[in-house]
Structure 1
Amino acid sequence: MIGALKSCGRRSARLYSNQPLYLNPHQWKGLPSDKIFELHNQRKEALGQYYNPTNEERELILSSLPDLMSRKGDKLDYVFELDNFKERYMNNTPVAQRGLPPKLSNVEVVARGDTPHQKRKNEQITRISAYELPLLANFRQAYQPPSKVNSVLKFKYFTDFSEESTPKNRTVVLTVNIKDLDLTTAQEKKFKLLSGNKFDHNTNVFKFTSKLLPEATQNARRAAEVFNALLTETKNLDDDFADIPLDTRHSKPHTPKPVFPKEWARPQDAPVAKFNIVNTIIEDVKTKKDSQYVKSLSP
């Protein structure tokens, strides 16, 4: 019996000796703390979902904690894994501490003597608002609204903060009222004919949109050049287009509002209001009850 046990022990020892070191936690005793921590990670990675720490591994991990936590330079390299090991696999973790974030793994690590970039940026903004912005009061001027004679053209810009260059950002809309151009009757008609569907006959406003060029300033310049060319051609009455009628179909709504024909109106067939006796009695009772309640409250 004793011989059989000895042979079985020798066989098991020979079997364990052929396995890698990270699969035998009972052989980790006496190794440095770094080596124990490395073997622990290798064993957990190799076994995957079947990983289950043994009693020897628990004892060795706990015994290596003081050495690893007392280091200064590479302390954060171990704290996350050790905290999670204690929380997941140790039975002596208090219930109140389970599920809490790691103690030091979420601490922001900043090089000693260096200021974060965001902090410097905030300090610069605060410095400007405290010392430079008050100096703008020396440049205050009374507001003078622009005269209508010098500000006939109106440019509308759009701003999209998602990207620097988008079709919305570079779009410029030019609008002008025909009454501000001081044109004659013949010139107004020619201007409307040349404008086509860019002119709204309901509001007498010319509207031109430019978004072909990559920058908004370029599109504004292009819109102004197109309008100047149109105005120059309008004032040239060598051919006034007097025999061409105006086309105002584009200014009309696409879906006109339906109009009820007067021929269909039959007032004699309209429904006659009936006497609703029940509702009338109910309203009278409500009024009487309300008046009695108000009288009971009044002195």
Structure 2
Amino acid sequence: MKPELWKGLPEGMALDLYRKRVALLGNKHTRSDAELQALLADSDNIAEAAFINDIYHGSESDHFEAEGDVDYMEYLEDGEFMEEKEEAFKYDEYPTKAQDIVRDFRDQLHFNRLAAYELPTLAKFRQPYIPPKATEKPVTYRYTVYLGEDHPAEKKVVLQLRVANLKLSDAEAHKFKLLAGSRYNYLNDEFKMSSDKFLEPAQNTTYLSDVLDDLIKEAKTNPEEFADVPLDKRHIIARGAKRQNKNKRNYKFPEEWKKPIKKGDRGVELSDMLVM
């Protein structure tokens, strides 16, 4: 309550004491020179002291105007304050289209420098590519992607593998082939199955992986019980026969459809052509 004692306090404390004093006194608050001098002593520079002096002698409405009186048009995009307003275009710069071309050219130069000076340094991290062994990663998943559009077939996933790469015994491999049914091709020892019952490809991939794990687990359970059951090859034989018959299709032209051509039937009248 004694503004004459505010001088010499840490920075910002005089302003806090002033606000508390105004709040406590309310309508009984009266402005004094000691209070103003304490606030001016708390300011860092002359501009801030002048601002405090103007606000202190102004009305209460001036306080609200001073808090929101900010000219945002004088700020650049990066937040830097401009002392002067932006000048009008005087045709002393490139147009917008030309500036876009220059910007793209600078970007291209940037990547050219990276390719010339930084990419060669990656040669020390070069390693030869060693393809994984089929016995270590026997399963292959095939996905279908339609670039630029959504298609219902994108959710379909196809699983492929060769039974010989599963490291099963002869009895276990035979039972696995029996369980696979028409999804196994004995000609190339390939097992294939697909799924599109879920909306996302990842879900179908997980489903196929779980089914394959169940097949392998079941194939390893008492495989000797099915050792005398022969492998069903009818679907592969029927597929091959269908392909052969498809390639051997020979359609004969019916004899009654043939029209005999007599000599002179295909004469051309030049006069008719000239009229047309």
TM-score by length of structure 2 reads: 0.43
TM-score by length of structure 1 reads: 0.40
